[in-house]
Protein backbone atom coordinates (compact mmCIF):
# COMPACT_ATOMS: atom_id res chain seq x y z
CA UNK A 1 0.00 0.00 0.00
CA UNK A 2 1.83 3.10 -1.23
CA UNK A 3 -0.40 5.86 0.23
CA UNK A 4 1.41 9.21 -0.05
CA UNK A 5 4.87 9.03 -1.59
CA UNK A 6 7.37 11.88 -1.41
CA UNK A 7 10.68 12.22 -3.19
CA UNK A 8 13.46 12.92 -2.53
CA UNK A 9 13.81 12.10 1.17
CA UNK A 10 16.90 14.25 1.55
CA UNK A 11 18.24 17.15 -0.50
CA UNK A 12 20.97 19.73 -0.08
CA UNK A 13 20.79 22.91 -2.15
CA UNK A 14 22.85 26.03 -2.49
CA UNK A 15 21.22 29.43 -2.11
CA UNK A 16 19.55 30.44 -5.34
CA UNK A 17 19.15 26.95 -6.76
CA UNK A 18 15.75 25.63 -7.73
CA UNK A 19 14.21 22.23 -7.16
CA UNK A 20 10.93 20.36 -7.06
CA UNK A 21 9.68 18.14 -4.27
CA UNK A 22 7.46 15.45 -5.67
CA UNK A 23 4.30 14.12 -4.04
CA UNK A 24 2.03 11.38 -5.33
CA UNK A 25 -0.94 9.62 -3.75
CA UNK A 26 -2.78 6.54 -4.93
CA UNK A 27 -5.92 6.88 -2.80
CA UNK A 28 -7.87 9.04 -5.25
CA UNK A 29 -7.97 11.88 -2.73
CA UNK A 30 -9.21 15.23 -3.95
CA UNK A 31 -7.45 17.27 -1.29
CA UNK A 32 -3.67 17.56 -1.17
CA UNK A 33 -1.44 19.90 0.77
CA UNK A 34 2.13 20.78 1.64
CA UNK A 35 3.36 21.58 5.16
CA UNK A 36 6.72 22.53 6.53
CA UNK A 37 7.85 21.44 9.97
CA UNK A 38 10.32 23.53 11.92
CA UNK A 39 11.51 23.17 15.53
CA UNK A 40 9.22 25.03 17.92
CA UNK A 41 6.88 26.03 15.08
CA UNK A 42 4.88 22.87 14.56
CA UNK A 43 3.35 22.33 11.15
CA UNK A 44 2.59 25.25 8.88
CA UNK A 45 0.52 25.00 5.73
CA UNK A 46 2.27 26.19 2.56
CA UNK A 47 -0.16 25.47 -0.28
CA UNK A 48 -3.13 23.22 -0.81
CA UNK A 49 -5.35 21.93 -3.57
CA UNK A 50 -8.97 20.82 -3.52
CA UNK A 51 -8.80 19.12 -6.90
CA UNK A 52 -7.01 18.96 -10.23
CA UNK A 53 -6.46 22.44 -11.62
CA UNK A 54 -7.23 24.19 -8.32
CA UNK A 55 -4.62 25.44 -5.88
CA UNK A 56 -4.57 28.01 -3.10
CA UNK A 57 -2.16 29.55 -0.63
CA UNK A 58 -1.78 28.49 2.95
CA UNK A 59 -0.13 30.21 5.88
CA UNK A 60 3.43 30.48 4.50
CA UNK A 61 3.32 30.43 0.66
CA UNK A 62 6.12 32.87 -0.19
CA UNK A 63 8.98 31.30 -2.12
CA UNK A 64 6.98 28.24 -3.16
CA UNK A 65 4.89 27.35 -6.20
CA UNK A 66 2.54 24.44 -6.77
CA UNK A 67 0.43 23.01 -9.54
CA UNK A 68 -2.11 20.20 -9.72
CA UNK A 69 -2.43 18.79 -13.21
CA UNK A 70 -3.68 15.38 -12.06
CA UNK A 71 -5.51 14.05 -9.02
CA UNK A 72 -2.49 11.95 -8.06
CA UNK A 73 0.37 14.46 -8.16
CA UNK A 74 1.05 17.70 -6.30
CA UNK A 75 4.66 18.93 -6.75
CA UNK A 76 6.13 21.76 -4.69
CA UNK A 77 8.63 24.02 -6.44
CA UNK A 78 11.27 26.18 -4.85
CA UNK A 79 12.27 28.72 -7.52
CA UNK A 80 15.25 30.28 -5.74
CA UNK A 81 16.13 28.49 -2.52
CA UNK A 82 17.01 30.45 0.60
CA UNK A 83 18.48 29.26 3.92
CA UNK A 84 15.15 30.11 5.57
CA UNK A 85 13.61 27.29 3.56
CA UNK A 86 15.72 24.70 5.36
CA UNK A 87 13.03 22.48 6.84
CA UNK A 88 11.26 19.16 6.72
CA UNK A 89 8.45 19.16 4.18
CA UNK A 90 5.39 16.96 4.37
CA UNK A 91 2.80 16.28 1.74
CA UNK A 92 -0.63 15.24 2.98
CA UNK A 93 -3.87 14.20 1.33
CA UNK A 94 -7.42 13.64 2.42
CA UNK A 95 -10.60 12.05 1.20
CA UNK A 96 -12.67 14.96 2.40
CA UNK A 97 -12.23 18.38 0.91
CA UNK A 98 -9.68 20.34 2.91
CA UNK A 99 -9.31 17.43 5.34
CA UNK A 100 -12.65 18.66 6.59
CA UNK A 101 -15.37 16.44 7.94
CA UNK A 102 -13.32 13.40 8.78
CA UNK A 103 -10.30 15.47 9.70
CA UNK A 104 -7.92 12.71 8.79
CA UNK A 105 -4.93 13.70 6.74
CA UNK A 106 -2.63 11.03 5.32
CA UNK A 107 0.99 12.12 5.39
CA UNK A 108 4.04 11.17 3.41
CA UNK A 109 7.30 10.34 5.18
CA UNK A 110 8.74 13.78 4.65
CA UNK A 111 11.53 15.41 2.66
CA UNK A 112 14.40 16.97 4.58
CA UNK A 113 15.78 19.99 2.73
CA UNK A 114 18.94 21.88 3.66
CA UNK A 115 19.78 25.15 1.92
CA UNK A 116 23.36 26.30 2.36
Partner 1 sequence: GDSVTQMEGPVTLSEEAFLTINCTYTATGYPSLFWYVQYPGEGLQLLLKATKADDKGSNKGFEATYRKETTSFHLEKGSVQVSDSAVYFCALNPRTGANSKLTFGKGITLSVRP
In the complex, which residues of this chain contact partner 1 (CB under 8 A)? 4, 33, 40-43, 45, 48, 50, 56, 58, 90, 92, 97-101, 103-110
Does 8 sit behind a cis peptide bond, omega within 30 degrees of 0 on the bond before it? Answer: yes
With beta carbons less than 8 A apart as the criterion, state whether 68 and 79 touch.
no
The residue among 26 and 56 lying less far from partner 1, judged by its C-beta, is: 56
Q: Which residues pair with 44 in a beta bridge?
A: 36
The residue among 42 and 62 lying less far from partner 1, judged by its C-beta, is: 42
Cβ 101 to partner 1, closest distance in Å? 8
Rounded-to-integer distance, Cα 5 and Cα 22, Å: 8
Rounded-to-integer distance, Cα 17 and Cα 62, Å: 16
The residue among 14 and 40 lying less far from partner 1, judged by its C-beta, is: 40
Cβ 99 to partner 1, closest distance in Å? 5
Cβ 45 to partner 1, closest distance in Å? 7
H or E stretch covering 112: strand 111-115
Amino acid sequence: NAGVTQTPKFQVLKTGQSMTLQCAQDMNHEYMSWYRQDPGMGLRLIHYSVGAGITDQGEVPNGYNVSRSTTEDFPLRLLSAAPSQTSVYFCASSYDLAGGRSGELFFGEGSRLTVL
